[in-house]
Amino acid sequence: MSRKCEVCGKGPMTGNNVSHANNRTKRRWLPNLQSVKVLIKGKPRRIKACTQCIRSGKAARVA
């Protein structure tokens, strides 16, 4: 499974590590994904959602 939020589609971003000597190497920033149980079409299902979607209520948790 990919590192992508199933609600908003947020995925990894890329950029550079920059050292004090200005050497640049590639790096990635990964989204903060959590496995949550949500209702989809009336049935509970586990999805990976980013914490912003969980906090904003876009991915409403099921107890």
Residue 1 in this model has a pLDDT that exceeds 70? no
Q: Which tokens in the block code for residue 51?
A: 């914490």
Over residues 31-48, mean pLDDT? 95
Per DSSP, the three-state class of 51 is helix
Q: Which tokens in the block code for residue 33?
A: 């994904």
Q: Which tokens in the block code for residue 40?
A: 């989809």
Return mean pLDDT, the chain. 95
The 10 Å Cβ neighbour count of residue 57 is 8
Total number of residues shown for the chain: 63
Residue 63 in this model has a pLDDT that exceeds 80? no
Query: Domain-by-domain residue ranges, the chain?
Result: 1-63
What is the CATH architecture assignment of 1-63? Answer: Roll (2.30)
Predicted local confidence at residue 47, as pLDDT: 96
Question: Contact, 4 vs 10, CB < 8 A?
Answer: yes
